[in-house]
Structure 1
Amino acid sequence: MSVVLSAEGLTKSFGAVTAATDVSLTFDADNIVSLIGANGAGKTTFLNMVTGYLKPDSGRILFEERNIVGLSPRQITKLGIARSFQIPQLFQTMSVQENLLTAESIAGAADPKSATDAALERFQLRPYAAQQAGLLPEGIRKLLDVAMALSSNSKLLLLDEPTSGVSADEKFAIMDVVMGAARTAGVTVIFVEHDMDIVARFAGRVVAFYEGGIIGDGPPDTVLGMKDVRRYVIGEDTSYAAA
């Protein structure tokens, strides 16, 4: 299986606070990986370094064997790395269809209209196509945000807390749509998540962060049952280990 993304010895500090300490991770194509950890553990810092919003103090980030450290977020997006944020980044007064058309045009799609039509189908957004983005339910706003990030040129999709703000009875349905769309598009997915039920159900691999380092990396049932992960990430709840 080919490697799509590789981080080698990433270190990042903010004054006296170290957000990443010699982080090295490799991600294979077509995998679904969840990054877990308490607030401030280093998960979002890792995403920000991969997408060019932060420059590591040391280390390399290779995307399809190209070092992308020093490139701008726009340049990295053009290479095929898509990202959604915890708070949906939408054009609030534009319709769902207009939002998608704008995103595909910015991403450089060969045929933005056809790409928009495909996205409406993949993300089950056709019934909302004419609705104003700012008036959508939160779950649909999340779907639109991911759909905009996952342009027709994307190869790697990074999701920052995709179920944040989504009601408990919607979160699994939303993730089913997102992961189904990612599989259809043939992209690798890395998602940050605090909901361990979502992690256990959708991730094929889990990477646990703690104080800027990695304390667990492997299959969900293995990592979620590790003593340090239970202590520092999900508390002393041992139900996942028992499962």
Structure 2
Amino acid sequence: MSALLEARGLRLAFGGVRAADGIDLSVEEGEFLAIIGPNGAGKTTFINMTTGYLRPQAGEITFRGRRILGLPPRRIVRLGIARSFQLPQLFTEHTVLENMALAIAAREGPWSPLKTLLRPAWRDEAMALLGSFGLAPLADQRGDALNEGARKLADIAMAVALKPRLLLMDEPTSGVAAAEKMAVVETLARVLRQSGVTAVFVEHDMEVVDRFADRVAVWGQGRIMALGPPQAILADPQVRRDVIGIIPEEEAGRAPA
């Protein structure tokens, strides 16, 4: 594997809060990289810097060897980086199929409302992609009629319609019912791997991280505290205590009554 994305020395502070304090990270072609850490650790800030929504005060970001720091989000998307948000960004008054066609139209360039959105080629492509996500039966439903799991899948399907090389996902299982969670992530992982899309995802569910990540980066106070395979990272006593919230038995035994 070769590095697809590289971040070096990223620094960004909001007042006295260091959201990025010297972030160095390489994302390898074809991998699924999970980012974990407590709230406020700087995880979403990293995604926002990578996708052009925030500009670091220092550091550099390259994608496929090209400097992308300072480029606007739309330009970054056209270079091959897409993202999904913690809250699905669907046009809720439109059907799932129309949402997909809008994503395809955005990829293809300027589109006029005077032109047919559901042109045959776009409709066929949208339906094929919805089929791969298991959403074809919901194609004619409005976005506001979907449950949270289907909304998450539709939102990420729209990102995949942009044909990215790299997809950054901010808490893809947030708000999804526990009974649906694994099925949703299994679908995401299958489609992304079949499409050859590299994925970086912020996640709080450690079972999801353990099952689907190739590597795990642990964020803390704007820094990467640990980086490695999920089995090693999730077994680390400090990660278990500070991120997962599991107190080692020897420490628990010393806790005051």
Q: Shorter-normalised TM-score: what interval?
A: over 0.9
Query: Which SS does the other structure have where 1:59 is aligned?
Result: strand
Report the 3-state secondary structure (helix = DSSP H, G, I; strand = E; otherwise coil) of the residue aligned with 1:170: helix
- 2:184 and 2:163 mapped to 1: Cα distance? 22
1:128 is matched with 138
* Distance in 1 of aligned mates of 2:239 and 2:108: 41
Look up the match of 1:188. Answer: 198
Return the alpha-carbon distance in structure 2 between the equivalents of residues 47 and 152 of structure 1. 18
Asked if residue 208 in structure 1 is aligned to residue 218 in structure 2, the reply is yes
Count of residues in correspondence between the two structures: 238
| Matched residue, 1:88 | 88
| Deviation of 1:153 (Å) | 2.2
**Which moved further from structure 2: 45-54 or 111-120?**
111-120
Code of the aligned partner of 1:8: R
Question: Cα–Cα, structure 1 residues 238 and 107, in superposed 2: closer, same or farther, change >3 Å?
Answer: farther
Partner residue of 1:69?
Answer: 69
Q: Distance in 2 between matches of 1:183 and 1:134?
A: 28
- 1:103 is aligned to 2:136: no
Deviation for aligned residue 1:113? 3.2
CA deviation map 1:146-174 (0-9, x unaligned)? 00111252100111000000000100000
Mapped to 1, the partners of 2:108 and 2:62 lie a distance apart of 22
Q: TM-score, normalised by structure 1?
A: 0.95
The change in CA–CA distance for 1:163 and 1:149 in structure 2 (over 3 A counts) is same
TM-score w.r.t. structure 2 length? 0.90
Partner of 1:56: 56
The code of the aligned residue for 2:37 comes to G
Question: 2:237 touches 2:248 (CA, 8 Å); kept in 1?
Answer: no
Partner of 1:151 in structure 2? Answer: 161
Q: Structure 1: 5+ residue runs without aligned partners?
A: none
Q: Which moved more, 1:145-154 or 1:53-62?
A: 145-154
Q: Would the aligned equivalents of 2:166 and 2:198 in 1 still touch at CA under 8 Å?
A: yes
Are residues 237 and 139 of structure 1, via their aligned partners in 2, closer, same or farther at CA, if it must alter by over 3 Å? Answer: farther
Pairing 1:137–2:147 present: yes
Deviates more, 1:80-89 or 1:228-237: 228-237
Q: In the alignment, which residue of structure 1 is the partner of 2:117?
A: none
Which deviates the most, 230-239 or 66-75? 230-239
- Once residues 113 and 82 of structure 1 are traced to their aligned partners in structure 2, the CA distance between those partners, rounded to angstroms, is 21
Note the 1:223-234 alignment, pairs <5 A.
223-234=233-244
Hey, which bits of structure 1, 4+ residues long, moved more than 6 A? none
| 2:177 equivalent in structure 1 | 167
When Rg is computed on C-alpha atoms for both structures, the one with the higher figure is: 2
Structure 2 equivalent of residue 45 of structure 1 = 45
Find the residue that maps to 1:233 and give its secondary structure. helix
Alpha-carbon separation, structure 2, partners of 1:163 and 1:53: 22
Matched AA of 1:69: L
Query: What's 1:17 paired with?
Result: 17
* Cα distance in 2 for residues equivalent to 1:153 and 1:199: 24
Deviation at 1:236, TM superposition (A): 2.4
Q: Which letter maps to 2:99? A: N
Letter in 2 for 1:231: R
Instruction: List per-residue Cα deviations over 1:184-233 (Å, max 9, x = no partner).
Output: 21010100000111111110100000000011100001111122212221
Residue 119 (structure 1) aligned with residue 129 (structure 2): yes
Distance, in Å, in 1 between the alignment partners of 2:72 and 2:84 is 16
RMSD of aligned residue pairs (Cα, Å): 1.4
Q: 1:160, 1:193 within 8 Å by CA — same for their partners in 2?
A: yes
Give CA-to-partner distance per residue, 1:34-88, whole Å, 9 cap, x none: 0000000011010000000000110000000011000011111111111000100
Instruction: Provide structure 2 residue ranges, at least 5 long, that are not aligned to the other structure.
Output: 110-120, 250-257
Identity of aligned residues (%): 48
